[in-house]
Amino acid sequence: MVAEDGRMALDLIQQTGCPDIIFLDIRMPQMDGFEFLDSLESTNKWKNAKIIMLSSVVQAEDKERARAYSSVMDCLEKPITQEMVEKVTKEYWRDKAHD
């Protein structure tokens, strides 16, 4: 699934449920990544989601702020590559094996 901004993503999640892994841009129009996380955590649909935050430039304060969310696995710099996706999915499934 793909959403253009945080509000569209929340609507999509409300309609279809939350995916296991979310690649979340920090800087989006209408609702940034942190506003999205706050809204998502106020629902009961996100409980098992793992979130990778993305930005053109990952700033130290963004990483620090992201650590406050239990669902955030990492903050990565865009553009996202196939190798990054593979690494994230391997880590996700490894973590699921230990649950």
29-66 residue pLDDT tens:
888 999 999 988 887 767 778 899 999 888 889 889 99
What pLDDT does residue 93 have? 74
Tens digit of each residue's pLDDT (9 = 90 or more) over 73-90: 989 999 999 999 998 888
Cα–Cα separations (whole angstroms), residue 40 to 44, 51, 81: 8, 11, 26
Q: What is the pTM of this model?
A: 0.84
What pLDDT does residue 52 have? 94
Residue ranges of domains in the chain: 6-98
Nearest to 23 by CA among 61, 47, 52: 52
| Cα gap 80→65, rounded to integer Å | 21
Classify 17 as helix, strand or coil.
coil
CATH number among 3.30.70.1400, 3.30.70.20, 3.40.50.920, 3.40.50.2300, domain 6-98: 3.40.50.2300
